[in-house]
Structure 1
Amino acid sequence: MKHLSFLNKIIYFINVIVALALLFSYVLPFLPPKTFSVLSVLNLGVSLLIILNILFAVYWLVKLKRQSMLSIVILIVGYVFYGSLFKFSASKNIENPNNFKVMNYNVRLFNLYKWIDKDSIETKIVDFINTEKPHVLSVQEYHPHKNINLSFFKYKYEKLSGKKDKYGQAIFSQFPIVNSGSIEFPNTANNAIFADVVKGTDTIRIYNIHLESLKINTNVEHLKNEDSERLFNRVSSTFKMQQFQTELFLMHKKQCPYKMVICGDFNNTAFSYVYRKIKGNLQDTYDEAGTGFGRTHDFKFFPMRIDFIFADEAFNVNGFKAYNEHFSDHFPIMTKLALETD
């Protein structure tokens, strides 16, 4: 430290703060937001902290300084316990006659209120889905738009609310739906739904979860004008609500007699308490077969993965893809699954 220039001492001081923040963030998935709501806000910044620590490590390595070891060691600890923020390996793509494809997509009401200033976004979304041909489609912020034609699917379950413009969640399936229902989340338009689909001789439970939204406007100018304390309190309150919604979901999940696939927009990251609780002993299909950042949300500052598809351990995860089609504030994801018993 004494051999560092004054500027490098300042840089290393900042490095220490960022490294310790990342190290502390590793315990966040084990801290319930109802008890540690203030700390849970740090969930959203874990990706940024990882990127900053990588930059610090590279900076010191270029200068051949041993200070690089601080960030390197903490990054290795995170990799051992949580895996990589970026997957360098090629995505898995195994062809199997028993494969079936599951897609998750928050379609943002098919651009009903013209958030994207382009025409016919709703038909572009439908064309995209029909081109990719998933066997099961889980949709958040669904709206029965007059131009929507998903007749490619033979079966559907939807749960809508709202007086003027109906919206909610939906599950579309090429396989017969033999049972379906909704898990109501009080005091919100968000909820979770399920559909039991029959593929061959197997009944598979498909869950579609939409946890409470953070309601953060990612426009830079808007964020500059946002009162930081009010934003902080709103995010803390949202994380508490997400924990409550997760607890309701887990009670329902516990009673499920079937192999399951859980899809959804969690409005939280893979470093969060709700992610860890919902995932349980299921497989995150991105971890099993994805590549790159796997980003699912159009967040301007760093890649955000807040939409997930989990699969029972009985499934082989034979593929995963995060798409770049920009028809919503979310990007669609799709996995290929095959039952080991098929």
Structure 2
Amino acid sequence: MKIFRLIILILHLGILFLLLGSLLNAYVPPRIFPWFNLLSLGFPILMIVYILMTVFWIFSWKKRAFVFMLVGLIFINPVKRIINFSSDKKEKAAIKIVSFNVKGGIMGKEEIGKYLKSQEADVILLQEGRGGDFPYLEEYKRVNFSGVGTILTQHKVLNTKELDFPEKSEIPPAVQADIEIKGKVYRFIDVYLHPFKFEREMVTLNGNSDANEQKMKDIVKRLIPTFKIHQKQIELIKNAVESSPYPVILAGDFNSVPNSYEYYHLSSGLEDAFLSAGKGSATSFHDYKFPIRIDYIFSSPSVKAVSYVVDRSVSFSDHYPVISEFSSDSK
């Protein structure tokens, strides 16, 4: 039994160091050491194993259980970025936002258009719209440069811009629009970071160990270069946020999980609407069996989220729509 407990202890410490490694994404960029960003992908599994091992020590009546429990408190916020239970907000909603990767509308433009119209949102931010027009949204003003990111609104649009590099990237990572709503101006940035371009069969493991090993190698080969592309794109987007004379609402498909380098640096100086007002699971991508959150809505601290919903009642895409309401700018 002592040998078994020693093995569990070594494994538990190993899991702890891996979890701590995922927190280093806040400081270490992928160009220097991309492997920390890989840990963010496995964070939910690592955290579950960590909790189960802590429970084992509790039932074993070992004092080390309290040590692991105390250290585990470090991961409360990282866990809340995936599963959260915030209190109801008393502030009155003034702005409603919908962010939705519509996958080019290939699963039904009619249904998507009708759904978006029914939301009566002030601003709709679409990703992978591919330049298509959606029925029922004719009265919305449209900001669309590349066909990837699209901003729709019925309010006054003051300025628009496509965020891209001088040499032009394959997919521009964002579009922005300064929009006046009820006498106040906000900068909306619709984000679509470089995709990993995975198909379901590429990440589905089977009983063939050699094939699975090759799949894992292929996955890593695709992940690491994309992490590095994301770092460059994030620098561009952060400049648009930091130079904004208006409060910012940043939303879209980040193609990145919570606790990743992308999450830490795009949320820097902003508030995660899910952390502020979300309840339950934040999972927004449902094409794989593994629960994944890659769609987000962030805002300047002066714009407070009063609600946050991942609408799982619709299946017009491999993403669920993310809907958030905000109180008006307090400044």
Secondary structure class of the residue paired with 1:339: coil
- Aligned residue identity for 1:196: D
Post-superposition offset of 1:54 = 2.0
Secondary structure class of the residue paired with 1:292: strand
Task: Tell me if the contact between 2:273 and 2:324 (Cα under 8 Å) persists in the aligned partners.
Answer: yes
Return closer, same or farther for 1:16/1:220 CA change in 2, 3 Å cut-off.
farther
Pick one of 135, 151, 161 that aligns with 1:171. Answer: 151
1:303-329: CA deviation from partner (whole Å, max 9, x where unpaired): 322211111111122111111133222
Q: C-alpha separation between the residues in 2 aligned to 1:87 and 1:31?
A: 26
Percent identical among aligned pairs is 23
- Aligned residue identity for 1:168: V
- Aligned residue identity for 1:169: G
1:106-151: CA deviation from partner (whole Å, max 9, x where unpaired): 111112xxxxxxxx633222232222221111111003446x2142
Q: C-alpha separation between the residues in 1 aligned to 2:89 and 2:196?
A: 34
Secondary structure class of the residue paired with 1:27: helix
The answer on 1:126 being equivalent to 2:106 is no
Which ranges in structure 2 are unaligned for 5 or more consecutive residues?
none
Task: State the match for 1:103 in structure 2.
Answer: 98
The answer on 1:216 being equivalent to 2:179 is no
Pick one of 256, 259, 269 that aligns with 2:257. Answer: 269
| Backbone CA RMSD of aligned residues | 2.6
Task: Tell me if the contact between 2:22 and 2:40 (Cα under 8 Å) persists in the aligned partners.
Answer: yes
Residues 217-226 or 193-202, more deviating = 217-226
The answer on 1:244 being equivalent to 2:224 is no
Secondary structure class of the residue paired with 1:206: strand
- Aligned residue identity for 1:48: I
Q: C-alpha separation between the residues in 2 aligned to 1:25 and 1:311?
A: 24
- Aligned residue identity for 2:284: T
Task: State the match for 1:137 in structure 2.
Answer: 124
Post-superposition offset of 1:340 = 4.1
Pick one of 266, 274, 280 that aligns with 1:292. Answer: 280
Q: C-alpha separation between the residues in 2 aligned to 1:300 and 1:61?
A: 34
Post-superposition offset of 1:64 = 3.9
Pick one of 168, 179, 192 that aligns with 1:197. Answer: 179
The answer on 1:29 being equivalent to 2:26 is yes
Task: Tell me if the contact between 1:12 and 1:67 (Cα under 8 Å) persists in the aligned partners.
Answer: no
Return closer, same or farther for 1:322/1:153 CA change in 2, 3 Å cut-off.
farther
- Aligned residue identity for 1:176: K
Q: C-alpha separation between the residues in 2 aligned to 1:302 and 1:73?
A: 28
Q: C-alpha separation between the residues in 1 aligned to 2:79 and 2:247?
A: 25
For these two proteins, the number of residue pairs brought into alignment is: 322
Task: Tell me if the contact between 1:121 and 1:327 (Cα under 8 Å) persists in the aligned partners.
Answer: yes
